[in-house]
Amino acid sequence: MKPVNLAEKFSRFDDHWHPRVVGALNGQLVKVAKLKGEFDWHFHATEDELFLVVKGTLRIQLRHGEVAIAPGEFYIVPRGVEHRPVADEEVHVVLFEPEMTSNTGNVVTERTRTTLEWI
C-alpha cells in the first residue's frame, strides 16, 4: 500500500459538497471534499464528525455560535449537535466518519450522497 497524497486526490475533482473516499480503517471512512458556500443545517444522531482543514478557512455555524477552522486544524462536531459548514472561499477538507454517516445527517436534500466514489 502506498501513502495517500492529498494534493493529488484533490486535483481529481472540482465540484463542491461531494465527498470522495480515500481510505478506510476500523469502520471509519477517510473522505476528501471541496466546499464552497453554505451547506444545509443538519445533525448526526449517532456519529461524531471530524473536519480537518487542508486549504482555506471553514466556518462551522452552530445554533449557539460559530467555530473557524484554519488550515492544519480540525474540529469535531459531537453527535446530536446541529451545525452548518460554511466556506466563504473554496476549502479543502478531510473528513473522518463512520461508514454509515450520511453527509447531510438527519435531512435529505439534493446534496445527499447515498453512494460514495473511491478515488
Averaged pLDDT in 10-residue chunks for the chain of 119 residues: 94 94 93 95 90 98 96 96 96 88 61 74
Sorted by where each begins, the domain ranges of the chain are 6-98
**To which H or E segment does residue 7 belong?**
helix 6-10
The mean of the pLDDT values for the chain is 90
90-117, pLDDT tens digit by residue? 999 999 987 776 655 565 666 656 677 8
pLDDT of residue 98: 79
pLDDT of residue 114: 66
At the second CATH level, the architecture of 6-98 is Sandwich (2.60)
Residue 12 DSSP code: T
